[in-house]
Amino acid sequence: MLYICPMNKQGHNIRIIHETMGELLNETFVDQIQFKLFLKMVHASLELDQNLSFYNGDTFLVNIPFNILRNCVVVTSSVEFSMVDQVRSKIEALVTK
């Protein structure tokens, strides 16, 4: 299990990604408190060996069994880099040596 937690200006995003099943959850929260509560719920599911199960009573239902969740990577508010950014960074690193 891996946690990466940088913050984002538009909101707070959480992604749960499984190696073979792909992206199981990709949810963005505008409210920081809701984001923290959901992240604590994911953490509690992992620590207590329980399924991640949540329903907001309207439109959002999540049920990820623990045996799948324990093999996932949880990433929050990740920043995506383009290939241009990666090449530029490597060139700058080589020039500054």
CA atoms within 13 A on the CB side of 94: 6
Q: What pTM, to 2 d.p., does this model score?
A: 0.65
pLDDT of residue 64: 92
Q: List, for residues 43-84, the tens digit of each pLDDT value.
A: 999 999 999 998 878 888 889 999 999 999 898 874 455 667
C-alpha 46, offset from chain centre: 14
pLDDT of residue 78: 46
- Please give the structure tokens belonging to residue 76: 């929050």
pLDDT of residue 12: 82
**How many CB atoms sit inside 10 A of residue 51's CB?**
15
State how far the Cα of 67 lies from the Cα of 53, in Å rounded to an integer. 13
Predicted confidence (pLDDT) at residue 88 exceeds the cutoff of 80: no
pLDDT of residue 46: 92
Q: List, for residues 3-48, the tens digit of each pLDDT value.
A: 555 543 457 888 899 989 999 998 888 778 888 899 999 999 999 9
Instruction: Report the b/e string of 17-44 with b at 16+ CB within 10 A.
Output: eeeeeeeebeeebeeeeebeebbeebee
State how far the Cα of 75 lies from the Cα of 27, in Å rounded to an integer. 11
